[in-house]
Amino acid sequence: MALMLNSAAMPTFSVIIPTRNRARTLREAIPTVLAQTDGDLEVIVQDNASPDDTRAVVLSFDDPRIVYRRSDHPLSMHDNWAAALEAARGEWIIVIGDDDALLPDACAQAKKIIAATGARLLTWVAAVYGWPCHDAPEFRNMVQVLLGDGWEEISCRQVLEELYTRRRGWIGAPSIYHGFVHRSVIDTARGRAGGRYFFDLQPDIGATLTNLFCAKEYVKSLEPLSIAGWSRGSNGGRGQTPEAMRAMLKRLAAEAGQTIESWTVLSDTRLAGMETMMLGTLANVRITLGISADSDAAPPVPADERSVLRCVMRDPGGISVPFDEWKQAILEHAERLEMEIDPATLVLPPAPRHHAGFSADGEGYLRQIRLDAGRLGCNSLGDAVQRIAAILRNYRVNPAAVRSSLWPVDPVLRRGQCL
């Protein structure tokens, strides 16, 4: 079922919001899109057979730019995203979650960067807002923002190589989730993948890797244009441990009628963090796009379980189980695969730095803010949008002024209002 409030001319941007039984957070996410300073957009709310009052919430906005679509029965996550994409008319497509937000001038900033660079892929590292309902206390009421100015152009090939060798994660790569993707890139992917753009169990990560294979370079804004909301029901909010990640993937696989049991190494909960699971997604995307392992378009890839295990061994950082359990899992799989591994080479890396408050770079410039949202006067997603937008506007005007200082955060903290 589809309900279009207006059949206006083709917009520049299509903002897709997939949703399922989360009318409460959706009610706060939609206004952040409708409030864009550049309103040349449509909002496609793809309702995955929600039994709650999602439809009533969407129609309550009575905005001609909204397209409401609802499936009659639950779809897999990637099929639901694909259904929304079919309805999109914009030149540029972006997907955000039903607990996420666009910052007020996201579309305007995107147009500026696209005009200056000729980009076909535009991404950034989203700010984070931990909803008060989050199950984990450390994420509840959290605001995190990376500060930057301008943009940079990045080679897709270089990023693919770093992903395959586990020298980087997928955050900051060109995703359609919290990123703008030009229709030409989507059409290229569809031509290689039998007409589909979303085909992996994890459509956000799968689409990111697909984009990397279908373009030569992308542009990364050093300023966030959106906010990733971590609520109780979000995948990002729940997938913070190997066990949670495993459970989430099993659910996604069941919805799609697939299994992950064949991923012997990757399905081990002692090893299966987000970056480890990505190795399976990388292989799936490469095969679906018809890129052979010896192709110039494909960097070196794990060809078998031994190769996968070697990739996992390279970086024990970010694991969420005791190191001894991780090490024991490596040795067990090595024995099963008849690999000789010296246990002395499996060394615990330095503990990751968990920034709190204000973090500066080596030259004293403020680069990250991580605070209890209450300190910024945030009681909702809408509040977080206003406060973060104020901080970024001030930073954009004079980024050098933040050297060894709390500016531009201090005025927001003191007065509790946007500037």
Residue 284 has pLDDT above 90, yes or no: no
Region of poorest pLDDT, from 81-95, 226-240, 243-257:
243-257
Give the mean model confidence (pLDDT) for residues 63-68: 96
Helix H segments across 136-182? 156-164
Alpha-carbon gap, residue 5 to 59, rounded angstroms: 9
Alpha-carbon gap, residue 265 to 303, rounded angstroms: 13
Residue 367 has pLDDT above 70, yes or no: yes
Q: What are phi and psi of 161, to 5 degrees?
A: -60, -40
Residue 407 has pLDDT above 80, yes or no: no
Strand pairing of 127-130 and 226-230? parallel
Higher-confidence residue: 240 or 332? 332
- pLDDT at res. 190: 96
Give the mean model confidence (pLDDT) for residues 150-172: 84
Nearest-CA neighbor of 232 among 99, 374, 406? Answer: 99
Report whether 177 contacts 204 (CB < 8 A).
Answer: yes
Percentage of the chain exceeding pLDDT 90: 47
Helix (H) or strand (E) holding 330: helix 323-336
Q: For 335-349, how does the pLDDT look when each residue is reduced to its tens digit (9 = 90+)?
A: 988 999 999 988 876
Higher-confidence residue: 320 or 311? 311
Residue 50 has pLDDT above 70, yes or no: yes
Give the mean model confidence (pLDDT) for residues 349-367: 64
- Range with the largest mean pLDDT of 14-18, 131-135, 234-238, 396-400: 14-18
Q: For 80-119, how does the pLDDT look when each residue is reduced to its tens digit (9 = 90+)?
A: 999 999 999 999 999 999 999 999 999 999 999 999 999 9
Residue 302 has pLDDT above 60, yes or no: no
Residue 255 has pLDDT above 70, yes or no: no
Q: What is the largest CA-CA distance in the chain?
A: 65
DSSP 37: S
Q: For 1-27, how does the pLDDT look when each residue is reduced to its tens digit (9 = 90+)?
A: 555 555 557 899 999 999 999 999 999
Strands ordered across the beta sheet of 66-70: 2-4, 66-70, 41-47, 13-19, 92-95, 179-182, 121-123, 217-221, 151-155
- Gyration radius (Cα) of the chain, Å: 21
Residue 123 has pLDDT above 60, yes or no: yes
397 pLDDT tier (thresholds 50, 70, 90) = confident
Region of poorest pLDDT, from 159-168, 177-186, 210-219:
159-168
- pLDDT at res. 354: 47
Cα 251-253-256 angle, rounded to 5 deg = 110
Query: Given the structure tokens 């970086």, which residue do they identify?
Result: 315
Give the mean model confidence (pLDDT) for residues 269-286: 68
* Domains along the chain with CATH numbers: 2-230 (3.90.550.10), 239-345 (no CATH)
- pLDDT at res. 402: 61
Dihedral sign (CA 73, 263, 242, 126): negative
Report whether 251 contacts 229 (CB < 8 A).
Answer: no
- Considering the entire predicted model, what is its pTM? 0.83
- pLDDT at res. 357: 75
Helix H segments across 74-153? 77-87, 106-117
Cα 247-190-302 angle, rounded to 5 deg = 50
- pLDDT at res. 315: 64
Contacts of 313 by beta carbon, 8 Å cutoff, 6+ apart: 330, 341, 346
